[in-house]
Amino acid sequence: MNQGKLPRSGLGSLVLIAAVVGGGAATFAYTAGWLSPGRLTPERMIAALTPPSGPPLGHRRNHAKGICFTGTFEANGSGAELSRAKVFAQGRYPALGRFNLGTADPNAVDATVRVRGLGLMITTADGEEWRMAMINPPFFAVSTPQAFHDLLIASGKKDPEAMKAFIQANPEFGPFAAWAKTAPWTGSYAEEPYNGLNSFVFTDAGGGDHTVRWSLLPSALPIPISQADLEKRGPDYLEQEITERVRTAGPLRWTMVTTVADPGDPIADPSKAWPENRRKVAVGTLIVQRIEPERDGPCRDINFDPAVLPQGIRVSDDPFPAARSSVYRKSYDLRAAEARDYPRTETAKP
């Protein structure tokens, strides 16, 4: 890659944008029809994610560049009205996560990647886990896993007519392209909101169901910068900045806000944002306390599979969690088998 010139921040640089990496539960994939004959398969999706230079051996097949963090999730108790999941009972729970970029290149220049992500795992005392993968756009690029696959294929072709044909067939891509072109860049992972764009069902103590999406909203004030200014700060500035910020300023905080759907809201289409007037409940605070490089860090071998859920939360009719889960599993198997291509250092912790 020519690091002296940034690629156009339009369609060609916006295609590796979903957290379609890691491992997961094939059961969910089967029930969603993901593995049915004639349907899209994890192998086909991973092939579409693979750049012409080859797969990033030892790394996640997408969102390959990232850095680990540990901290806590402080539940304020308000989430208990929506879900009986123990993670919403007032208290503090261990959190493990990963800031990342939406690219298949683990050596990508920060300023060439439009989408930023956050993977998170929260664990309760009895071992239940809630895993999730969020990104900073307010809505997803496309409405179905097949459309995402088609986007990857079209964007990889040299013929410009391929993307034109894709956009004509998938008009929901238009709002995402507009976001990518006009939304401000920031110079820190700490200044980004992270959105769980898929819908899940929360079940409360009385058995009532609530379809929700959630977001992590930063306490840090976003400071817009240009793409060119970000490039000047260096190819790995985001990892360096978040490490230094936590070291000098202390823990970072995000408020977790759940949004509850009204009847008729598009549950199965993450490319459609829900109206702003929907009910919102702040359920707690993510506190990032320590940053560690991924190579030897605690997030290295964690798959932030959205189908790993505690009791009181389940998948909805949204097809993406099932699709992502099956691709995560295949990706994890691949990178685990390639560990020698991304070796831990001699100072790695046990």
- Flag whether 96 is in a domain: yes
Residue 225 domain flag: yes
Q: What is the DSSP letter of 313?
A: E
Reading phi first (left if > 0) and then psi (alpha if -120 to 50, else beta), residue 312 is in left
Residue 61 is predicted with a pLDDT of 96
Strands, E assignment, the chain: 65-75, 91-101, 116-123, 129-135, 185-186, 194-203, 209-218, 224-225, 252-260, 280-293, 313-315
| Domain that includes residue 293, residue range | 43-338
Mean pLDDT over each residue of the chain, to the nearest integer: 90
Where residue 328 sits, what CATH number does that domain have?
2.40.180.10
> What does the DSSP 8-state code read for residue 275?
P
Structural domain includes residue 325: yes
Would you say 328 is a known binding-site residue?
yes
Query: Which residues are registered as beta bridge partners of 225?
Result: 185
Residue 72 in any domain: the answer is yes
For the chain, how many structural domains are there in total? Answer: 1
Q: Are 285 and 255 in contact (CB under 8 A)?
A: yes
| 306 falls within a domain | yes
Percentage helix, strand, coil, to 5, in the chain? 30, 25, 45
158 domain residue, yes or no: yes
* Active-site residue (options: 59, 63, 149, 210): 63
State how far the alpha carbon of 132 is from the alpha carbons of 56, 57, 208, 230, 323, in Å. 23, 24, 23, 28, 14
Mean pLDDT of 295-314: 96
Question: Which of 289, 187, 194, 287 lies closest to 238 in space, CA to CA?
Answer: 187
Q: Is the dihedral of CA 305, 238, 2, 150 positive or negative?
A: positive
Residue 275 covered by a domain: yes
pLDDT in tens, 37-95: 457 999 999 999 999 999 999 999 999 999 999 999 999 999 999 999 999 999 999 99
In this prediction, residues 99-123 reach a mean pLDDT of 97
pTM of full prediction above 0.85: yes
Question: Is residue 26 in some structural domain?
Answer: no
Tokens of 103: 């690219």
Note if 63 is an active site residue. Answer: yes
Mean pLDDT over 102-131 rounds to 97
pLDDT band at 21 (very low <50, low <70, confident <90, very high): very low
CA distance to 86, 163, 183, 230, 335, per residue, from 110 (Å): 37, 24, 16, 8, 22
CA–CA separation, 166 and 284 (whole Å): 40
The pLDDT tens digits of the residues spanning 213-263 come to: 999 999 999 999 999 999 999 999 999 999 999 999 999 999 999 999 999
